[in-house]
Amino acid sequence: MIDKIVPSVDAALADVRDGSTVLVGGFGGAGVPAELIDALIAQGAKDLTIVNNNAGNGEVGVAALLKAGRVRKIVCSYPRLADGYVFEALYRAGKVELELVPQGTLSERMRAAGAGIGAFYTPTGYGTYLAKGKETRKIDGKGYVLEHPLRGDVALVKAERGDRWGNLVYRKSARNFGPTMASAAKCTIAQVYEIVELGALDPECIVTPGIFVTRVVKVPRKEGGNRIPAGGVTRGISGRAAV
């Protein structure tokens, strides 16, 4: 019997090695696999390359991983956040490397990795600083930049619901990078709030089919569910979760 469900976040991350490239889902506070990131800090792997849309906020999530000194390099589109002081200090001290990638290119590079594409030409960034040193080409009169796939050793993804075959569904805009990252890593670990019986997810509506998922782990819902705490619209987002 195939059962991708593991009993704990610690068990899910036990074999993450030093020097790994880790794809971490989430955009702002939505879709951040917070429990898996905490477990990665506890697990102790270091010299990591982290791929995330941002570079951490406050001192939680990716910022906590940075603060713990585990990150060698960040690949992201938007490292400048209101509370991004942990990254900022490390970056200015030359202690973390930054590869800045336009957001759509970041996503498409992971899609390419998951889809077996060798490289692709994108119009995004053509003629700009972010295309410096990259191969370019005119196709039908329009300028394009050659971009390469971005593979993960591990992907950490937050979904709403999963089953023992690894099929996943998400919730609202928390889906963001999850499905693409799930396809782009050798080992994809999904944290879910609910594990359901096989067949309970409507096959027409499964967003990430289990072939892209290695492990599923259930985490408890936070107190208050998805409600943003009163008076905490900004704090709630930039505080706990905005990785």
Partner 1 sequence: MSYTKLTRDELARRIAQDIPEGAYVNLGIGMPTLVGNHLPKDREIFLHSENGILGMGPAPAPGEEDADLINAGKEPVTLLTGGAYFHHTDSFAMMRGGHLDIAVLGAFQVSVTGDLANWSTGEPGAIPAVGGAMDLAVGAKSVWVMMEHLTKRGESKIVARCTYPLTGIGVVKRVYTDLAVIDITSHGLVASRLVAGLSFDELQRLTGVPLLPSGARAAA
Q: Which residues bind partner 1 (CB under 8 A)?
A: 27-31, 77-80, 84, 87-88, 91-92, 98, 100-105, 107-108, 110-111, 122-130, 143, 170-180, 207, 226-228, 230, 233, 236-238, 241-242
**Residue tagged 């019986």 (tokens):** 197
Cβ nearer to partner 1, comparing 151 with 171: 171
d(CA 136, CA 166): 39
d(CA 15, CA 18): 10
Are 50 and 25 contacting, i.e. CB atoms less than 8 angstroms apart? Answer: no
Cβ nearer to partner 1, comparing 22 with 131: 131
Supply φ then ψ for residue 70, to 5 degrees.
Answer: -95, -5
Q: How far is the CB of 179 from partner 1 (least distance, A)?
A: 4
Q: How far is the CB of 124 from partner 1 (least distance, A)?
A: 5
Sign of CA dihedral 50, 104, 92, 36: negative
Q: How far is the CB of 58 from partner 1 (least distance, A)?
A: 13
Q: How far is the CB of 13 from partner 1 (least distance, A)?
A: 24
Cβ nearer to partner 1, comparing 68 with 207: 207
Q: How far is the CB of 202 from partner 1 (least distance, A)?
A: 15
Cβ nearer to partner 1, comparing 43 with 91: 91
- Lookup: tokens for 19: 């020097």
Cβ nearer to partner 1, comparing 110 with 192: 110
- HSE of 206, CA atoms in CB hemisphere, 13 A: 19
d(CA 179, CA 158): 10
Helices (H), 83-184: 85-92, 103-115, 178-183
Supply φ then ψ for residue 68, to 5 degrees.
Answer: -75, 0
Q: How far is the CB of 121 from partner 1 (least distance, A)?
A: 11
Cβ nearer to partner 1, comparing 45 with 189: 189
